[in-house]
Amino acid sequence: MGGYVLDFQEIDGTQVAVVGGKGAHLGELSRIDGIRVPAGFCVTTDAFQRVMTEVPSMDALLDRLSRVTADDRTAIHTLSSGVRRAIEGIPIPDDLAVVITGALSHLDDHAAYAVRSSATAEDLPTASFAGQQDTYLNIIGPTAILQHVSRCFASLFTERAVSYRLRNGFDHRKVSMAVVVQQMVFPEASGILFTADPVTGNRKVTTVEASFGLGEALVSGMVNADVYKVRDGVVVSRTIATKQLAIQAASSGGTRETTVAPERQEQPALTARQVVRLAALGRRIESHFGRPQDIEWCLVDDDFHIVQSRPVTTLFPIPEIGDQENHVYVSVGHQQMMTDPMKPLGLSVWQLTTPRRMAEAGGRLFVDVTQGLASAASRASLLGVLEKSDPRIRDALQSVLDRGDFIQSLPNEGPAWAPPGAGSSALETDPAIVTRLIDSSQASIAAVKRDIQARQGSALLDFILEDIQEMRRIQVDPQSMQVIMAGIEANWWLNDQLHAWLGEKNVADTLTQSVPNNVTSEMGLALLDVADVIRPHRDMVAFLQDVEDDGFLDELPGLTGGREARDAIQAWLDRYGMRGAGEIDITRPRWSERPASLVPLILGNIRNFAAGAGKRRFEEGRQLAWKKEQEILERLRGLPDGARKAEETGRMIERVRTFAGYREYPKYHMISRYFVYKQALMEEAGRLVQDRILREEEDIFFLRFEELQDVVRTRRLDEQLIRERKDAFRSFQALTPPRVLTSEGEGLTGSYRRDDLPAGALVGLPVSAGTVEGRARVILDMADADIEAGDILVTTFTDPSWTPLFVAITGLVTEVGGLMTHGAVIAREYGLAAVVGVDHATRRIRDGQRIRVHGTEGYVEILSREPDRVD
């Protein structure tokens, strides 16, 4: 048919640039045996470009559109409307019109057609763009079809399409439009088929949605659909909706809304036999494309016609294991308080660092706990630990176990599952043990800093790989693990026993305030000391308020007190600058690399606190813990057998205060070592850029460590691989990882199973005792934090980089977290009321609302409907 028109039979999946995503999928569908696709053709992107050359001032219009931000709704409306009018105002050129009408005559130019947009950035594996451009149904006659082809061309610039591209980083100039012209079918029923359950993600479950008439009623949300679920060729559930409306083809062209007869409204749109047959067709289509599909179908005379198939882009990926066995995975990110995706270099370095083999999916890491759940002994131990640390993960795992047949039980033999640090109960309570561990760690870091200096090329990569083994040895040092578990177990003992003896919950939260050797809590207090150096100098404070780039440290000496301020900030960076948001990913920026990100935190400390707040805050916490200890011991002595109980409790308090602070140190050591590696790797990347092997230094972030070794050794790079990895990472950023994931793709979040809460309360996990009221500050990025003293921080998760904000707040609410995650540990040490694991907290709580955080009981109350004023 020529360069402007291609029949479906001439199209395959490689021609997205020519016929768009929808057109390419229809071409592929037409090639699958046993799949009926209504005949049609595509008006190609060459035809679109031909029309675009006729539009006056198009370059100027696109220039203006490219400068708009995704949040500027008014500008998007004005400019996109102007572009659409300009395109629709250009008649289809005569030579192009002849080709299109000629293609119609090969089919039936008197038939009715669907005219549908097919953009080149549409129905892609990483971005569906579904519904962003226009579709027109039941278009009759060549003149009307040409008119609607023009409208489809213009729909590349609908407001929703423009906004979608802006949000997802697609260049308007690099997206083109083709148009599908497909013979209409007039179905008794139609709908959508998902070859994986779109809610749970389960790849073994097919979901069918069906309604009467054309599918537009369902897609547009006009009617509720019947919903059927099929597994292994059997309908396992069905929900029949009341279907009051349908969309039918109008005799004059277009569509019309009709009322379904009352006696049919609650009848199923499909029989069970038809549902099973449709599910089988879906599996055939999925097999062809190699991934789960979202399929549009029509039923005509008991025969199914497929009118579209696109990849499902919202499913969380499944780890690629290679066997056919069932597996259950627990999210590492929920344990590490960093659920963002990691880049390939970050994933591979973390995997090299940790002793446990991990599965990978969606840019996140998971631990396979299948074997731990298989025998009764290990299962009980694992679930027991999770009951305390993260009950939602425990509940999710229990729901899998309750199915009875997903995990094959092993004989109940062998030792129970045990966390690292076995034998901690025999560890002597001696502060010198912690001191020796920290001194040894610091000496090891100093040695790697020294020894890495002279290495380049393959020698550098080999050195890092060898040193990672040394880091692993230090991280799993038996005594280090025993110290951590001794602190955790003493904490659990105090909470359990004092609740049983005195009826008081979470007493250890007060007893562990201001413990020694907590490097993360010390970091937040040390930044208060930096504020003390700067606060007396008004000119310097004014200068910092206008800081926008990371070169500000070099300008400070020119200001009064500036040299002292620079030295104070630099000293803080020397000790803590290797940290940053998402720090378990070696590719993420560190404070030493982005020192300007500290400025808002320093200014907040200057505004919210008086001089000496750091030392005063620590001493207040220490005194509070001491007074609580005396109170508890006195109350215990008054109980039956009180002397023994008080003596035992005193030993446990000493133990928790000796060892609890060290809980944060191994991660600090690991992140310190990571930063040494990163600095050396970035220097190597600079050499690769200089040698024109890399385009930019940060391209190394999209290579796994072993791939980077090959690039350094061979001096060759697959640039296509880098582009694919960047595209994949962007798609991963849109996904939310589940707490628990099965090998069938089912994501489980678990629940708290509580019914003792006030109406409207937001339930979570209590991790730091106390009840506070205050203004909620909903903050998704620490760079946007504007905290006032007394505020309550509401966010998705907090890793150690958020600690400097904790000195100003009185409460903490997060969507992710557990009893022993970093945010919980620091909240207890600072005496903040904290509730973590609150589903969708950042959406259910609005910035500025007054809330009450029940850190002892584990829930949040919203006290005001309207937010307080947030300046």
**Residues forming the active site:** 822
Q: Which of 481, 576, 644 is nearest to 804 (CA)?
A: 576
Confirm if 521 and 827 have CB atoms less than 8 A apart: no
DSSP per position, 163-227: HHHHHHT--GGG--EEEEEEE----SEEEEEESS-TTT--TTEEEEEEEES-THHHHTTSSPPEE
Looking from the CA of 488 toward its CB, the CA atoms found within 13 Å total 22
Confirm if 53 and 45 have CB atoms less than 8 A apart: no
Angle at the Cα of 826 (from 767 to 820), degrees rounded to 5? 50
Structure tokens at 722: 């880098």
Give dist(CA 851, CA 844) in Å, integer: 11
Place of tokens 């070859």: 195
Confirm if 197 and 141 have CB atoms less than 8 A apart: no
Give Cα 66 to chain centroid, integer Å: 27
Q: Which of 255, 29, 6 is nearest to 123 (CA)?
A: 29
List of residues 6+ apart from 354 with CB closer than 8 A: 472, 475
Mapping DSSP to helix (H, G, I), strand (E, B) and coil, where does residue 468 land? helix
Residue 20 Cα distances to 9, 90, 121, 145, 146, angstroms: 15, 22, 7, 19, 18
Hey, which residues does 574 pair with through a beta bridge? none
List of residues 6+ apart from 120 with CB closer than 8 A: 16, 17, 20, 21, 45, 175, 176, 177, 178
Give dist(CA 449, CA 672) in Å, integer: 10
DSSP per position, 262-290: GGGTTS-SS-HHHHHHHHHHHHHHHHHHT
Place of tokens 């309207």: 866
